[in-house]
A and B are shown apart, each in its own frame.
Chain A
Amino acid sequence: MHAPTLRAEPDPSGAAMAAKTLYDKLWDAHVVKDNGDGSALIYIDRQLLHEVTSPQAFDGLRLAKRQPWRLDANLAVADHNVPTTDRSVGIEDPISRAQVEALDANCDEYGITEFKMTDARQGIVHVIGPEQGATLPGMTVVCGDSHTSTHGAFGALAFGIGTSEVEHALATQTLVLKKSKNMRVTVRGKVAPGITAKDIVLAIIGKIGTAGGNGHTIEFAGEAIADLSMEGRMTVCNMAIEAGARAGLVAVDATTIAYVQNRPFSPKGEALQKAIAWWNTLHSDDGAAFDREVELDAASIQPQVTWGTSPEMVLPVDGRVPNPAAEADPVKRNSIERALAYMGIAADQPITEIAIDKVFIGSCTNSRIEDLRAAAGVLKGKRIAGNVKLALAVPGSGLVKRQAESEGLDKVFIDAGFEWREPGCSMCLGMNADQLSPGERCASTSNRNFEGRQGAGGRTHLVSPAMAAAAAVAGRFVDIRSL
């Protein structure tokens, strides 16, 4: 891990004092009441709800005899627990079913808009928000899920919260927040062909570590970020939390404004013109001061594969697994030793010699249409390797699934030996039936390689969709650039 680049303090005199970061602008626009101690009551424009972190919040409301402050600011969907197989038969697991039914009942009771499990618009909460135009530039967006950072791709201040804060936001439309510090990660220049948003963000996490962004909001900037589609920007911001930052941001530009128009929840006509005028101001001013700056050279980023049990344990695909003997810090050496033992791999082993058992293409990180196209592009006309027991393709939403099917991508996945599933969080965290068994090794496009994340004893290697598809075909990790 490299030390971050620190920027010199800006000149405290002159007009530069007025320059604001994008985060400062979003914060200032939402202050209801400044507490004068670095904290403030911050207004919440949008709350997204799902079944896992909301039942106790609704119970809290009922116990205190409180009503939601503003119903139309909320949008709910079940995603974590839902089966990705045939839904006409309902949810087999009674405990999962009870949780999804609790969300349905709570939304019905209070009158909150919910996309129910059989609705074509159902999907992963962080896919459907943007897809519906429910996530807009300049908003504050919260959800009881740490990957809410995803929505920062739109120049929205978006972050995950706990259940007590879900209840607080429901009851008051605000949160008491402490302002975080400003950090900017600039990815200079252009990435090489075959390098994706996932590789960029994994390389960033590898550089700054999983605690590197603690206490900060990270703005991702630079040519390589501006070159990304909205899908790619969402992938990058999604994993800001894996770098410790509760929120990630990308400045609004023409790509953002083109994406958000003509969606069910987005403004139309005169309101749209007014909105665009404001959205066009949502970028950090020249000369705005950041508490911390980190730079990466885009051209140096290679396809990334995690080898361990923390997203910072990541290497270029042509690398070798680290040797704990080479680590001087005892806490870090201990972490490497534990990770190697858990992952069942040897020090100094080449990444490309690691064979896999399962493949998962999906999750709020990589389940959008562009991700499915990238994977299908690698899979076309090929078959998964004999040692791959299961390969899952799980679209992020019903609408993504429909789009993919209209392009014939479902056929490509199925012909290659993948299972083509219904939308949901699926094997990213295995709350439904989609799990790894102990010792199984998975090439996964998700966001966390923690111990047991995809199933107790399961071993996760995080990669991009194209790298996951290539690993499915080869039965081990391969350099996408060599195909």
Chain B
Amino acid sequence: MQPFTIVTGKVAPLDRANVDTDAIIPKQYLKSIKKTGFGPFLFDDWRYLDKGDLDIDPATRRKNADFVLNKPQHAGSTILIARENFGCGSSREHAVWALSDYGFRAVIAPGFADIFFNNSFKNGFFPLALKDEEVEALFQESAASADFQLTIDLPAQTVSTPAGLKFAFEIDPFRKDCLIRGLDEIGLTLQHADDIRAYESRRREAAPWLFA
């Protein structure tokens, strides 16, 4: 997993609340049995005017020029900003894979749905929560400057902008460490295999029907 430390990048402002994972990556792409290649289909229904599918070359499709990712000034963005409750709905981790595959490293919003939030950390993708008014300030600065960039400093836990805004954020220490080091969580858990076996033998005694 790619470590996440200090990321400076261009910002794409997606001014919507309750962006659901169906919107992030529509159903037809969930038929893929791979983890990669979802980037061209990110926000598919908003980004293109015609209907796409796994076997349709995105280069042949009509783009919606009004959608933020299609605006030239936002090409190559690596940080997304959005409104409250980002990532609600379906548990599809494909949503995170699509954001990552497109090139985003982080999304900043006032709040995230729980499953999306969890899925993000498993993929080295950072769902960064700031206060409502801080996110509003980022939207305003983004609207005022054509190639707005910002810097996420994960070790220092700050977000800073060219205009000089600097916001501190909170993050769970374990998650922070995993992001910075790009750790494999399954490997970490298997270090506690003896604890899992001990739990199982206690449980088998108390509730044998769970092991039938």
Interface residues of A (CB under 8 A from B): 32-33, 35, 37, 39, 41, 43, 45, 52-53, 55-56, 59, 64, 66, 69, 72, 80-81, 93, 95-96, 98-99, 102, 136, 138-139, 144-146, 148, 160-165, 167-168, 171-174, 176, 178, 180, 210-211, 214-215, 241, 244, 246, 265-267, 271-272, 274-275, 278, 310, 331-332, 334-335, 338, 429-431, 448, 450-453, 456
B63 part of interface (Cβ distance < 8 Å):
no
Least Cβ–Cβ distance between A75 and chain B, in angstroms:
13
Query: Does the CB pair A211–B113 fall under 8 Å?
Result: yes
Considering the chains assembled together, what is the distance between the CA atoms of A172 and B83 in angstroms?
Answer: 36
Least Cβ–Cβ distance between B117 and chain A, in angstroms:
9
- Using A146-B90, A174-B189 as known contacts, say yes or no to A215 and B209 having CB atoms under 8 A apart: no
B122 part of interface (Cβ distance < 8 Å):
yes
Would you list 24 pairs from A and B whose C-beta atoms are within 8 A, ordered by A residue? A35-B174, A72-B211, A144-B91, A144-B93, A160-B91, A171-B186, A172-B186, A172-B190, A173-B200, A214-B111, A214-B113, A241-B89, A244-B88, A244-B113, A272-B209, A274-B207, A274-B208, A278-B207, A431-B27, A448-B20, A451-B23, A451-B45, A452-B22, A452-B23
Chain A residues, CB < 8 A from B55: 95
- Identify the stretch in B4-12, B30-38, B153-161 within 8 Å (CB) of chain A at 4 or more residues: B30-38
Q: Mark B36-74, 1 if CB is under 8 A from A, else 0.
A: 000000000100000101110000000000000000000
B26 part of interface (Cβ distance < 8 Å):
yes
Query: Does the CB pair A56–B33 fall under 8 Å?
Result: yes
B15 part of interface (Cβ distance < 8 Å):
yes
Considering the chains assembled together, what is the distance between the CA atoms of A453 and B195 in angstroms?
Answer: 42
B118 part of interface (Cβ distance < 8 Å):
yes
Query: Does the CB pair A448–B89 fall under 8 Å?
Result: yes
Considering the chains assembled together, what is the distance between the CA atoms of A43 and B196 in angstroms?
Answer: 8
B137 part of interface (Cβ distance < 8 Å):
no
Query: Does the CB pair B33–A99 fall under 8 Å?
Result: yes
Query: Does the CB pair A210–B85 fall under 8 Å?
Result: yes
Query: Does the CB pair A214–B23 fall under 8 Å?
Result: no
Query: Does the CB pair B88–A211 fall under 8 Å?
Result: yes
Query: Does the CB pair B91–A33 fall under 8 Å?
Result: no
- Using A43-B199, A176-B185, A453-B22 as known contacts, say yes or no to A81 and B31 having CB atoms under 8 A apart: yes
B18 part of interface (Cβ distance < 8 Å):
yes
Beta-carbon nearest neighbor of A312 in chain B: B18
Query: Does the CB pair A56–B17 fall under 8 Å?
Result: no
Considering the chains assembled together, what is the distance between the CA atoms of A65 and B81 in angstroms?
Answer: 38
Query: Does the CB pair A246–B115 fall under 8 Å?
Result: yes
Least Cβ–Cβ distance between A440 and chain B, in angstroms:
14
Starting from the known contacts A64-B186, A335-B17, 17 additional A-B residue pairs (CB-CB under 8 Å) come to A32-B192, A37-B172, A39-B172, A72-B211, A93-B31, A95-B54, A98-B33, A162-B93, A162-B118, A164-B122, A168-B185, A172-B190, A172-B196, A214-B114, A244-B113, A331-B83, A429-B27
- Using A41-B189, A211-B111, A310-B18 as known contacts, say yes or no to A271 and B93 having CB atoms under 8 A apart: no
Query: Does the CB pair B196–A450 fall under 8 Å?
Result: no
- Using A43-B203, A171-B186 as known contacts, say yes or no to A210 and B93 having CB atoms under 8 A apart: no
Interface residues of B (CB under 8 A from A): 15-18, 20, 22-23, 26-28, 30-35, 45, 51, 53-55, 83-85, 88-93, 96, 111-115, 118-119, 122-123, 172-174, 185-187, 189-190, 192-193, 195-196, 199-200, 203, 207-212
Query: Does the CB pair B195–A450 fall under 8 Å?
Result: no
- Using A33-B195, A168-B186 as known contacts, say yes or no to A456 and B114 having CB atoms under 8 A apart: no
Least Cβ–Cβ distance between B107 and chain A, in angstroms:
15
Considering the chains assembled together, what is the distance between the CA atoms of A99 and B32 in angstroms?
Answer: 7
Least Cβ–Cβ distance between A109 and chain B, in angstroms:
14
- Using A139-B210, A431-B28 as known contacts, say yes or no to A39 and B174 having CB atoms under 8 A apart: yes
Least Cβ–Cβ distance between B125 and chain A, in angstroms:
11
Query: Does the CB pair B31–A96 fall under 8 Å?
Result: yes
Chain A residues, CB < 8 A from B33: 55-56, 59, 98-99, 102
Partner of B115, one of A162, A171, A450: A162
Least Cβ–Cβ distance between A159 and chain B, in angstroms:
8
Partner of A146, one of B15, B91, B199: B91
Query: Does the CB pair A456–B93 fall under 8 Å?
Result: no
- Using A173-B196, A244-B88 as known contacts, say yes or no to A271 and B15 having CB atoms under 8 A apart: no
Beta-carbon nearest neighbor of B48 in chain A: A456
Query: Does the CB pair B96–A452 fall under 8 Å?
Result: no
Least Cβ–Cβ distance between A103 and chain B, in angstroms:
9
Chain B residues, CB < 8 A from A98: 31, 33
Least Cβ–Cβ distance between A71 and chain B, in angstroms:
12
- Using A41-B196, A211-B85 as known contacts, say yes or no to A267 and B174 having CB atoms under 8 A apart: no
Query: Does the CB pair A37–B89 fall under 8 Å?
Result: no
Q: Which of B23, B33, B96, B173 has the most CB of A within 10 A?
A: B33
Chain A residues, CB < 8 A from B211: 72
Query: Does the CB pair A162–B196 fall under 8 Å?
Result: no
Chain A residues, CB < 8 A from B203: 43
Least Cβ–Cβ distance between A176 and chain B, in angstroms:
6
Considering the chains assembled together, what is the distance between the CA atoms of A64 and B187 in angstroms?
Answer: 9
Beta-carbon nearest neighbor of A93 in chain B: B31
Considering the chains assembled together, what is the distance between the CA atoms of A173 and B16 in angstroms?
Answer: 38
Chain B residues, CB < 8 A from A456: 26, 45, 51
Least Cβ–Cβ distance between B36 and chain A, in angstroms:
10
Query: Does the CB pair A53–B93 fall under 8 Å?
Result: yes
Query: Does the CB pair B27–A145 fall under 8 Å?
Result: no
Chain A residues, CB < 8 A from B20: 310, 448, 450
Query: Does the CB pair A32–B207 fall under 8 Å?
Result: no
- Using A37-B172, A244-B113 as known contacts, say yes or no to A171 and B30 having CB atoms under 8 A apart: no
Chain A residues, CB < 8 A from B18: 210-211, 310, 335
Least Cβ–Cβ distance between A237 and chain B, in angstroms:
15
